Amino acid sequence: MFYRAQQMRWGGENVRRAMSNSGQKVVLITGCSSGIGLRMAVMLAKDEKQRYHVIATMRDLKRKDKLVEAAGDAYGKSLSLAVLDVCTDESVKQCINGIKDRHVDVLINNAGIGLVGPVESISIAEMKSVFETNFFGVIRMIKEVMPDMKKRRGGHIIVVSSVMGLQGVVFNDVYAASKFAMEGFCECLAVQLLKFNVTMSMIEPGPVHTEFESKMIQDVRQKEFPGADADTVNYFKNVYLPSSVDIFETLGQTPDDIARVSPPVIEQGSSARFRNLTNPLYTPIVALKYADETGGLSVHAFYHMLFNLGPLMHVSMKAMQYLTCGCLRSRTVSPN
């Protein structure tokens, strides 16, 4: 038996935690109650070569059922659960202190929240809460795990960022800003960490069909957008939202598409790429930005696409969807 399993009691829940003491890599993932985090945890825990022991974390263990069901036999063997809220210092510390020797080989920062809408209608408190999770949440995790990695001269920090961490998208101002901030932070840290044999990798998905999308749509439906003028609300609701739904429908990937990127990124170790775009259809959009240092090309291209080509885009997306029978949804670029 490769693991020393122990039962711990946290927050009134029985938490089964198994610590790898073989050559397996200990992989800690944040935000595993749904979506990308859940599928990454399951895929790594069910790895055929049994290379990983996964500590799947979530802020509320009442949400563990989908993960436990998907993990099947791996639960309690190569997958253990722990409570972790990335917005709380104490929760982060308690989780990492509960791991044998605080040893984490691979930290996958996945937990994140979205926010769309006219800036005028979003309070500063709402904006701060996006940064608290998407930016400070990741930093909190890195600050807790990185010193041990540096001491051991080994480790891998992976961040689930977004295409919106590289290219802004209209009405996603605050979400994109939180991911841009993360990209900048990681670009700086990656250089220093090389000196300690610690690798930093970003995974940058485009649209993915998860609760992220449904939570945002539900949130938008409930909102009145106070403070935003009628024209802006009209552009948001009647121009941006329909295009966004089309784009998700046509180009959206599955959480498994994104999860499949994680084993090769981990296995490449110190030679892993820093950036890993998961959807090849977004590569030209990112290239556009770097092709013109004035920034005008991207700003005007996006304006033209949204306001002048909106109806045409809708028709093209529908045609694309029809012609490809939805096959584009499963296209993933491997970082290999």
Ligand X SMILES: NC(=O)c1ccc[n+]([C@@H]2O[C@H](COP(=O)([O-])OP(=O)(O)OC[C@H]3O[C@@H](n4cnc5c(N)ncnc54)[C@H](OP(=O)(O)O)[C@@H]3O)[C@@H](O)[C@H]2O)c1
User: Which residue of the set 175, 235, 240, 282 is catalytic?
Assistant: 175
> Closest distance between ligand X and the C-beta of residue 314, in Å?
20
Enclosing H/E stretch for 108? strand 106-109
Is 46 annotated as contributing to ligand binding? yes
Binding segment for ligand X (CB under 6 A), chosen from 11-19, 58-66, 284-292, 321-329, is 58-66
**Can you tell me the distance from the alpha carbon of 106 to that of 27, in angstroms, rounded to the nearest whole number?**
5
**Can you tell me the distance from the alpha carbon of 56 to that of 294, in angstroms, rounded to the nearest whole number?**
43
Q: Which of 24, 33, 172, 276 binds ligand X (CB under 6 A)?
A: 33
> Closest distance between ligand X and the C-beta of residue 21, in Å?
27
Q: Which of 15, 19, 27, 86 binds ligand X (CB under 6 A)?
A: 86
- The residue written with tokens 């556009």 in the block is 288
Question: What amino acid occupies position 215?
Answer: K
Q: Which is nearer to ligand X, 15 or 58 (CB)?
A: 58
Residue 108 as a binder of ligand X (CB under 6 A): the answer is: no
Q: Which of 43, 58, 106, 169 binds ligand X (CB under 6 A)?
A: 58
First to last CA, the chain: 33
Alpha helices in the chain (DSSP H): 35-45, 65-71, 89-97, 124-131, 137-152, 173-194, 211-222, 230-234, 241-251, 255-259, 262-267, 283-291, 296-303, 310-324
231, two tokens: 């024209």
Task: Tell me whether residue 240 is one of the annotated catalytic residues.
Answer: no
Residues 6+ apart with CB under 8 A from 328: 250, 251, 281, 320, 321
Is 40 annotated as contributing to ligand binding? yes
Do 201 and 265 touch, CB atoms closer than 8 A? yes
> Closest distance between ligand X and the C-beta of residue 177, in Å?
13
**Can you tell me the distance from the alpha carbon of 280 to that of 257, in angstroms, rounded to the nearest whole number?**
12
Question: What amino acid occupies position 216?
Answer: M
Q: Which of 20, 24, 110, 279 binds ligand X (CB under 6 A)?
A: 110
**Can you tell me the distance from the alpha carbon of 143 to that of 107, in angstroms, rounded to the nearest whole number?**
11
Enclosing H/E stretch for 284? helix 283-291
Q: Which of 20, 25, 28, 37 binds ligand X (CB under 6 A)?
A: 37
Render 197-209 in DSSP notation, one character per residue: TEEEEEEE---B-
> Closest distance between ligand X and the C-beta of residue 83, in Å?
9
Residue 219 as a binder of ligand X (CB under 6 A): the answer is: no
Binding segment for ligand X (CB under 6 A), chosen from 72-80, 109-117, 286-294, 301-309, is 109-117
Is 38 annotated as contributing to ligand binding? yes
Residue 158 as a binder of ligand X (CB under 6 A): the answer is: no
Is 48 annotated as contributing to ligand binding? yes
Residue 216 as a binder of ligand X (CB under 6 A): the answer is: no
Question: What amino acid occupies position 113?
Answer: I
Q: Which of 15, 28, 29, 36 binds ligand X (CB under 6 A)?
A: 36
Is 164 annotated as contributing to ligand binding? no
Interface of this chain with ligand X, residues 296 to 335, rule: CB under 6 A: none
What three-state secondary structure class fits 253? strand
Residues recorded for the chain: 336
Question: What amino acid occupies position 146?
Answer: M
Annotated binding site for NADP(+): 31-59, 85, 179
Annotated binding site for substrate: 162
Question: Site residues (CB under 6 A) for ligand X?
Answer: 30-31, 33-37, 58-60, 63, 85-87, 110-113, 133, 137, 160, 162, 205, 207-208, 210-213, 215, 255
Residues marked active site are found at 175
